Structure formats: C-alpha cells, structure tokens
Amino acid sequence: MKIYSLKHLLVAAGGTLAAFILIGALLGFVTWPFDGAVRAAPAVPAENVAAGPDRTVDDSPSPYFEQNLAPAPSQAMSQDEKENVDIYRRLNEAVVNITSTSYGYNWFMEPVPQQGTGSGSIINREGHILTNFHVVANAEKLTVTLFDGSEREGTMVGVDPENDLAVIKIDPKGAQLVTVPFGSSSELLVGNKVLAIGNPFGLERTLTTGIVSGLGRPLRINQNYVIREMIQTDAAINPGNSGGPLLNTRGELVGINTMIYSPSGGSVGIGFAVPIDIAKRVVPELIRAGMVDRGWIDVTPVQLFPALVEYAKLQVTQGLLVSETAPGGLAERAGIKGGARSRGVRYRGNMIYLGGDVITEVDGVAISGIQDLYAALENSKPGKVVPVKVNRNGRIVELKVQLARRPHANN
C-alpha cells in the first residue's frame, strides 16, 4: 500500500479545485467577482423608493432589454405615413356604418329579420349620406351607426340603380357631423395613391391604402346595367366596405367603393369604385326628386340571341331587335320601324314581333345588348335628340331620334 504525505494531499486537492474552477468558468457556471463591468443592483419597485434630496432614481438603460433610441413617432413618420394619419384623423368620423334590415319568412311563415351591412359617407350637415344602392336595396329599416357608436334611424331619399348609388338621411339634431368634401375623378391618373375607409366585416372605420390600378373599366353590376367608367384600385376592399369613400391624398372623395373581383370572397387587390363625377351629377337630383330622370327610346327592344338570329334570318348577330314602337311615339315619328303583327312568335312566355329594325348604335355607342342601350343613355335627358343607327334588312340607316322619358320601372 502506497503512503501519501500531507504535502501530496494538499497538492492533489489544490489541483482538483483549480481544474473545477477552470471548467466552471469555461462553461459559465462560475463568474469572476471583478470583470471590469459595473453590475446593476437588484431592481426595487418604484413605489418602494422614497424620493428625497439625498436619493436619486437610476434611469440608466436596463440590462434586461434593448432600449428604443428612435425619435418620437411624430418625428419618425414618413411623409406618406403623415398623409395617411392626417386624412384618417380628419375624415374617419364622416364614415358611417349602415345596417339594412328586411324580413323573410321561415317554414312556419314567421317573419325572420335579415340584415346586411355597408358603409356610407356623410356629404352635408343636413344629414345626407351617400352609399351604394345595393347596400340599402329592399331594406324595410335602415340603422346608421356614427363614429361614437350612437345609432340613428335612416330614411331613403333617392336611388339610382343604374349607377349603384343611393342617398339616405339621418336626423342631424344634436350631432356634430363631419362631412367628406367632393373631389374630381376626372383628375385621377393610374398610379395615383388612394385611401379607402369603411367597415369591412363590421370592423368600423378601417383604413386601407393603395393606388389607382385602372380607369374607365366597364363593369356589369347586374343583368341590365353596366357602369363604363369604374375606377379600379388595389386598396383592400372587403364585404362591408361597399358604399364607403375612396379618397385622394387631399382627403377628397373621388369614388364610392362598390365591389371586388375575388374568387375567395376576400380582397385580392382588384376593387372597383363608382367615379365621384357620376355621383356629383346625380346626387342633387336624387335629393330633389328621389330618382334620376333619363331619356329613353320608346320601343320594345329584344336582345339578339343565336336562335332568334337563325329563325328570323337576320343579317346581324348583335344588337337590339325592335319588336314594337310606341304608337305615335317619338321613335316611330323618327322613322324607327317595329315588327309586323303577323310575324309574332312566342319565346319563353314573351311575344316577339319579327321584321323590325335592329338597333346597332346609339349616340356613338355600339349596341350589342340591352346593357349598352342603358349605358348609352345614362347621361341623357328627355327631349334630347341622339343619332341612332339601325340595320334594316341588311342596310344601315341613320336616324335622329328625340328621347322620351324613361319609364320608372326601368330606372
């Protein structure tokens, strides 16, 4: 057996301790008491620190998180951000949420309320609100929610289904209404910045931004109507935005957000707005008369379709066949010819009289379907004389036709 002296034991113990300290330091388990850095004292809650002349509060940067040394937000904002913030601050209170309520019936013939929501812009301090027709169509009750959450009953003032526009009104008593100023859509250029404020999915007064992606887009809004001058934008527009304002960088209303193209139902960057120049033209009439008085060619038009073209042996494949003219009416007096009573055929419950003219152009607008006739006469009044081209047995005939008043059912 080997005998160790006290000296050997001390050397062995010292070596083991040194090795332990070295390994611990390398692994971070052991720290040196003085490494050249000043260590912060343990944090003391502010409420436990007494203020006094001999006591100061240490506001030096905390070692536990990074300190944001950026300037204050007002100084850090870019010019673009400042525009967004300024326009939103000035105009968000002018945007309202519109809830339309209609009533259907369940299997037990009990009335069931059905609601839809959209947006609108307050346009004057009398309480008139501009929105889309489809937001308020068929509504039996309208509820308008202002920026402060207060609700007011809305009443219908006037509608223009042809441009998908409507004006409703609230009682302004006791409310400090903020209004949206009108701009001009004719000044817009592709690439201009635009802002949209609305209530997508019920999220009130949401701001989105984008650019004008296209101008003069023709867009069919239903079976009969096409709006030819729609503004296309990539500003996010979603369900609930309909009727809300599209603004330029001066905070002026340049469009009324109307619809989106989307395979999913959400925004994919293709939205459309009715130009404000159309609204400026029709809104005064809506407020004054409740409708827009437009001109009309007083005939019974039938849109051509392949079976009709083949059966009637027509020389054209697109246009409107004149089935009948109003007896003694303006169109008849201008020389437009209707079909013969002896050549009537029934199609899907409707009687069509063959042999009449086929309208192919009205006031410079090519006519391929009924929606083109509405579009050609959208900005015309009764009494106006417009050039009309018809195909009569393969021959083009040009006529001057004075417009009649459009029947209300067609407006």
Which residues are designated catalytic? 134, 164, 242
d(CA 351, CA 344) in angstroms, rounded, equals 6
What lies within 8 Å, CB to CB, of 333 at 6+ separation is: none
Q: What radius of gyration, in Å, describes the C-alpha atoms of the chain?
A: 36
Q: Where are the beta strands (DSSP E) in 132-265?
A: 141-145, 151-160, 165-169, 193-198, 206-220, 226-233, 245-247, 253-260
Both tokens of 69, joined, read 């040394």
Cβ(117)–Cβ(99) below 8 Å: yes
| Torsional sign, CA 365, 369, 373, 378 | negative
d(CA 170, CA 178): 13
Q: How far is CA 370 from CA 115, 160, 374, 407, in A?
A: 32, 18, 7, 15
